Structure 1
Amino acid sequence: MDAIRPTIHTSQRGDVRRASSTFTELARQIRDRGLLRRRYGYYWTKLVAAPLAVAVCLIAFIWIGDTWWQLFTAGVLAIVFTQIAFLGHDAAHRQIFVSGRWNDWISLILGDLLVGMSYGWWQHKHTRHHANPNKLGADPDIELPVIVVTAEATSTHQGPLIGWLRAHQGLLFFPILLFEGLSLHASSVRRVFARGRLERRWAEITFLSIRMVGYVVLVFIVLSPGIAFVFLAVQLGLFGFYMGIAFAPNHKGMPVVPRDMTLDFLRRQVMMSRNIRGSRFLDVAMGGLNYQIEHHLFPSMPRPHLRRAAPEIEAYCREHDVPYTSVPLITSYRVVVGYINRVGLGERDVFTCPLMEQREAIGAAARSAG
């Protein structure tokens, strides 16, 4: 992207203002269809089911006892924890209740107490991502510690081990996701004990302590040390893998825009996001994240409405010449792995922004006409 550093001129600012009114019209259509209404019955069912599911798993874990069959329990717990994390994501985006306080406490209970992820840490990081998806210097989700997703990150100084890992990161992408669960827990602990402002710090510390210490103690009480270590490794590995494959297709491999580029809200959210086409089973499996475009345009839209909103939003984007990407799940993984592989090998301009390409084409046409 270094070769393309566009300047937004006065006429382009006028385009941005007109495009903003375009989103206002879309928002009016979505609101008039009732797609922003709360779904209390849907969410209360899930809120009751979440702690019950954890309780059932733990009771089964204690009843099964010290056996290698517990590795199946570890797999089930990984799925349950991920589904609860999706529900916490909905609460953090104010999808469940009108009250921000209610949503915050539900996120704390689901995230910190049941899953072991700091709500405060995640909220700060995720809010920045939503404001500027795939924007250099603004989106924390493209600043990863091991895998690089931008050419700029590849050019930074790196030791031989990191250099080798990045050169092979396409091949190693899915295995690396097995460590994502451990990373999420570690980042959460660092955040709640770090300096800086954090609302409800002591609530987070209390909930995380109960979840992490209590869970590990229970595992080692029920299981012998060897089985306990393997159990935790399997549960953490599958949890991280599930979280990773749910979030990775959303933006990786979509255009990365430079720091100084200004886009209107509609294009900024649609062009940097990717939807995953599939059945209602996929909707459940990915926690609604497969409708990433709709979620980024309307973060507080309840999850059940995303499928209904998608055809209308896609048609609206086509009508207004806004690129709307929707692909099958396997295709998305193929694009993601191919993209990060080329970035890791040091290729420049792996993907360019469609809006920038459009502007370049218009400029070329104008020069030819002149």
Structure 2
Amino acid sequence: MAITEINEYAHLTDADVEALGAELEALRREVEADRGLRDVRYLRRTILAQRALEVTGRALLLGSHKRPLWLLGTGSLALAKIIENMELGHNVMHGQWDWMNDPEVHSTTWEWDMVCASPHWKHSHNYIHHKYTNVVGMDHDVGYKVLRVTRDEPWAPKRLMQPISNIVLAATFEWGIGLHDIAVGDVLTGKKSRAVGIPQIQEFGRKIGKQVAKDYVLFPALTGPNFRHTLTANLTANLIRNLWAYVVIFCGHFPDGAEKFTVDTLDNETQGQWYLRQMLGSANFRAGPAMAFMSGNLCYQIEHHLYPDLPSNRLAEIAVRVRALCDKYDLPYTTGSLSFQYLKTLRTINKLALPDRFLRDTADDAPETASERRFVGTDRALGLKTAIAEVRRRRRLRRRASA
């Protein structure tokens, strides 16, 4: 099922893993020492662009009864919300700009433009997800408690609804993220202390109230007789932001090659093994400068997982170095076009809606679930990238022989 021995899976010795970790740590220190004015300028320009887009969108929607103005205003507002969510909110709350000691862009003070309260997200994402990345049973982002994305989770009849659940989650992504850390069901059943859960639910309720009042009452009301048109524009902008955030996040975590791990891998985990788990458990997608910016630079999800608190504008240059290290240690560097990565993710979600008896690949050698047992019978002297290619070659030959 999931990987239990990460060094064995990676075809690296203990010394290799620690050498890799040392090189990645040296890269971190190099970037930290180089942070400065160009990074500050990037952040300030991003904030200025985001605010200009939002003001422009709100102004255009004063005439939202006219379809061209509705379209332009909705588009501008959607872009502003995407930038605020992806390149600002997500990255600021990761602490990427804390080194500036500016309270306006500090992880402890930023509250983003979505219904999820920032303290809840920082706990479920910064702490749980990034510490226990893709560890089954520990990282709740593995399927978001809604989807089965690995065979390590037993099939249940409710999974037949997974294709529909996936669509609902995509459209309401900010609400799913908002509920993620609260675990209302656990509060109701007593698995989570009411002393902890009730205040969280109340804080979530207050954040919902602020967002609903702003987007669906105040700003529509400011457009007077165009209230209904502006209301639909705001709903549409939020929907676009939700769908985009969903696609970006899913393409970084669930395509083929984003591996899963058992809890056993955490036993005495070294820094090198933590770095290795981030590299094997994440996936990138190819993007030009504009798409990278709109994704919050999460097209470099591998690099983000290696260095979640380094400024996002540095990930493109870091990626060149990380890819070179993958080549040096014969490790896969999982990437592809956005559409290709999402189609592979969608295939996994729809496929795992079915009981395991309908699935063709083995539980140790499937596109979405693999373990070190997939390499039985292969040359252990091979590196991981080469070994995976050899396993795939043998599989193709077996299928041709049986055809």
- Band of TM-score, shorter chain: 0.7 to 0.9
State whether structure 2 residue 237 is matched by structure 1 residue 235. Answer: yes
Q: Is the 8 A contact 1:277 1:328 kept in 2?
A: yes
Which residue number in structure 1 is paired with residue 116 of structure 2?
A: 117
Measured in 2, the distance between the counterparts of 1:189 and 1:138 equals: 15
Q: Is the 8 A contact 1:88 1:110 kept in 2?
A: yes
Which residue number in structure 2 is paired with residue 261 of structure 1?
A: 265
Which residue number in structure 1 is paired with residue 125 of structure 2?
A: 126
| Mapping 1:301-312, distance limit 5 Å | 301-312=310-321
Q: Is the 8 A contact 2:95 2:107 kept in 1?
A: no
Which residue number in structure 1 is paired with residue 141 of structure 2?
A: 141
Measured in 2, the distance between the counterparts of 1:181 and 1:33 equals: 32
Which residue number in structure 1 is paired with residue 388 of structure 2?
A: none
Q: Cα deviation per residue 1:242-296 (whole Å; 9 max; x = unaligned)?
A: 1111111101032222222346122201011111123212211211000111111
How many Å apart are 1:230 and its aligned residue?
Answer: 3.5
Which residue number in structure 1 is paired with residue 29 of structure 2?
A: 31
How many Å apart are 1:240 and its aligned residue?
Answer: 0.9
* Aligned-partner residue type, residue 259 of structure 1: V
Which residue number in structure 2 is paired with residue 89 of structure 1?
A: 90
Which residue number in structure 2 is paired with residue 165 of structure 1?
A: 161
* C-alpha distance 355-131 of structure 1, shift in aligned 2 (>3 A): farther
How many Å apart are 1:117 and its aligned residue?
Answer: 3.2
Which residue number in structure 2 is paired with residue 368 of structure 1?
A: none
How many Å apart are 1:224 and its aligned residue?
Answer: 5.8
Measured in 2, the distance between the counterparts of 1:83 and 1:163 equals: 33
How many Å apart are 1:30 and its aligned residue?
Answer: 4.8
Q: TM-score, normalised by structure 1?
A: 0.78
Which residue number in structure 1 is paired with residue 385 of structure 2?
A: none
Q: Cα deviation per residue 1:192-238 (whole Å; 9 max; x = unaligned)?
A: xx842999999988776444313321244236675466434423321
* C-alpha distance 107-6 of structure 1, shift in aligned 2 (>3 A): closer
* CA-based RMSD: 3.9
Which residue number in structure 2 is paired with residue 298 of structure 1?
A: 307
Please identify, of 302-311 and 23-32, the stretch whose mean Cα deviation from structure 2 is larger.
23-32
Match of 1:313 among 287, 297, 322: 322
Which residue number in structure 2 is paired with residue 218 of structure 1?
A: 218
Which residue number in structure 2 is paired with residue 332 of structure 1?
A: 341
Which residue number in structure 2 is paired with residue 177 of structure 1?
A: 170
Q: Is the 8 A contact 1:249 1:336 kept in 2?
A: yes
Which residue number in structure 2 is paired with residue 249 of structure 1?
A: 251
How many Å apart are 1:137 and its aligned residue?
Answer: 0.8
Please list every run of 5 or more consecutive structure 1 residues that lacks an aligned counterpart in the other structure.
366-370
Q: Secondary structure at the match of 2:336?
A: strand
Q: Is the 8 A contact 1:154 1:344 kept in 2?
A: no
How many Å apart are 1:316 and its aligned residue?
Answer: 1.0
State whether structure 2 residue 63 is matched by structure 1 residue 64. Answer: yes
Please list every run of 5 or more consecutive structure 2 residues that lacks an aligned counterpart in the other structure.
185-193, 357-361, 383-403
* C-alpha distance 59-181 of structure 1, shift in aligned 2 (>3 A): same
Measured in 2, the distance between the counterparts of 1:326 and 1:298 equals: 18
* C-alpha distance 359-352 of structure 1, shift in aligned 2 (>3 A): farther
Q: Secondary structure at the match of 2:285?
A: strand
Measured in 2, the distance between the counterparts of 1:77 and 1:307 equals: 27
Q: Secondary structure at the match of 2:135?
A: coil
* Aligned-partner residue type, residue 118 of structure 1: A
How many Å apart are 1:107 and its aligned residue?
Answer: 6.5
Q: Cα deviation per residue 1:36-58 (whole Å; 9 max; x = unaligned)?
A: 62411111222344334323322
Which residue number in structure 2 is paired with residue 19 of structure 1?
A: 17
Measured in 1, the distance between the counterparts of 2:74 and 2:172 equals: 15
* C-alpha distance 5-57 of structure 1, shift in aligned 2 (>3 A): closer
Please identify, of 325-334 and 210-219, the stretch whose mean Cα deviation from structure 2 is larger.
210-219
- Number of residues paired by the alignment? 349
* Aligned-partner residue type, residue 77 of structure 1: L
Measured in 2, the distance between the counterparts of 1:15 and 1:358 equals: 16
